[in-house]
Chain A
Amino acid sequence: MKKKYAPHEPEEEVLSAAEAFNDAEQSEARWQAFEREERLRRVLVELPEPAFSKLEKLALQRGRTVSNLVEEVITGLLDAFVLPEEEA
């Protein structure tokens, strides 16, 4: 059975749909600025289940996230293969 969690401050007003979209737009702009500053490029990786769930479990066990693991693997591949070739 799915675990149920008590709601947080159910008596308090929460935002409208317009505010939610505004939140998302502003957040997207902030993270795009962060990525520009850090010289990051986004990559969309679509993993079939159960691969994603397994990777997620593994990531949590290691105190990492799925994005961290994918990033580490790709960086490792580049360091191992691409850079030595470029240096040669």
Chain B
Amino acid sequence: MKRTTPRIAISNTGPLISALQSNRMNILLQLYDQIHIPADEIREYRKHGADLEIRRLIEAGFIVVHQDFVPEENEAAKAIASEIANRPITRDKNPEHHLPEAFAIILMQRGDLGAVELLMDELAARDVARQRKVPFIGFPGILIRACWQRIIDPEDVLAALVECQRQGTHYSNKLINEIYESLKVSSSRKRP
């Protein structure tokens, strides 16, 4: 009677950093069984001061790191990174800086991994993923889903986004307030 297919997602750096900033990694642990990341992201987590936490999650088997890219995938990742860098919406025009998200998109395109979605916040990379029909969700969307599933309430969503913002993540007041107000209205409608 055991379930055999784990709930797998691929993640770019941003959503995992947001989960750590807001101390809400528990939500990802409830929504997913495994999160796969490309090895290129490890350097970024180190830069963010999150390497210890990420290492623990790797040791626990929750985060799975990939460096098994074949030459064709490396080439495809370079092309995707250039595409992201060329998007007018991105301010970082250096393709090398977009390689981690490019490799994350490549992982999503591997049919054998069985990944259902890509966790990604940056607009330029999301645009490139959308063009390739890669399904994605950002960290605010994950919080909304967690609220719908009653893992957290609207106040927790507000607190998480405010904490990310306080630590420098680019979530605007407008984004935070609109999400909170909308969740508050819908949750008060559902309650008797």
Contacts from A to B (Cβ < 8 Å) = 2-24, 26-28, 30-31, 34, 38, 40, 42, 44, 46, 56, 59-68, 71, 75, 78-79, 83
Q: State how many angstroms separate the Cβ of A82 from the closest Cβ of chain B.
A: 10
- List chain B residues, Cβ under 8 A from A6: 17, 47-49, 167-168
- Of the candidates A3, A17, A42, A71, which one forms a contact with B3 in the assembled complex, judged by CB atoms under 8 Å apart? A71
Is B117 on the interface with A (CB-CB < 8 A)? Answer: yes
| CB within 8 Å for A5 and B167 given contacts A20-B175, A24-B137, A24-B141 | yes
User: Complex: how many Å from CA A62 to CA B121?
Assistant: 30
- Interface size range on B against A: 35 or more
Q: Chain B residue with minimal CB distance to A53?
A: B26
- Of the candidates B61, B135, B170, which one forms a contact with A12 in the assembled complex, judged by CB atoms under 8 Å apart? B170
- List chain A residues, Cβ under 8 A from B13: 8
Which B133-192 residues sit within 8 Å CB-CB of chain A? Answer: 135-138, 140-142, 144-145, 148-150, 164, 167-171, 174-175, 178-179, 182
Asked if A8 and B49 sit within 8 Å, CB to CB, the answer is no
Asked if A20 and B140 sit within 8 Å, CB to CB, the answer is yes
Asked if A12 and B167 sit within 8 Å, CB to CB, the answer is no
Asked if A8 and B48 sit within 8 Å, CB to CB, the answer is yes
User: Complex: how many Å from CA A62 to CA B29?
Assistant: 13
- List chain A residues, Cβ under 8 A from B91: 11-12
Further pairs besides A63-B61, A78-B1: 16, Cβ < 8 Å: A4-B21, A7-B21, A8-B14, A8-B17, A8-B18, A13-B124, A14-B138, A16-B174, A17-B174, A24-B148, A34-B5, A60-B29, A60-B60, A64-B60, A67-B33, A71-B3
- List chain A residues, Cβ under 8 A from B90: 12-13
- List chain A residues, Cβ under 8 A from B138: 14-15, 19-20, 23
| CB within 8 Å for A20 and B179 given contacts A15-B123, A27-B141 | yes
User: Complex: how many Å from CA A12 to CA B90?
Assistant: 6
User: Complex: how many Å from CA A79 to CA B128?
Assistant: 46
User: Complex: how many Å from CA A62 to CA B21?
Assistant: 24
Asked if B29 and A65 sit within 8 Å, CB to CB, the answer is yes
- List chain A residues, Cβ under 8 A from B2: 75
Q: Chain A residue with minimal CB distance to B49?
A: A5
| CB within 8 Å for A44 and B122 given contacts A10-B169, A17-B174, A17-B178 | no
User: Complex: how many Å from CA A42 to CA B7?
Assistant: 13
- Sampled A-B contacts (25; CB under 8 Å): A3-B20, A5-B17, A5-B20, A5-B49, A6-B48, A7-B169, A7-B170, A9-B92, A9-B122, A11-B170, A12-B170, A14-B14, A14-B169, A15-B140, A17-B182, A23-B137, A23-B141, A24-B142, A24-B148, A27-B135, A34-B5, A38-B5, A60-B57, A66-B29, A67-B33
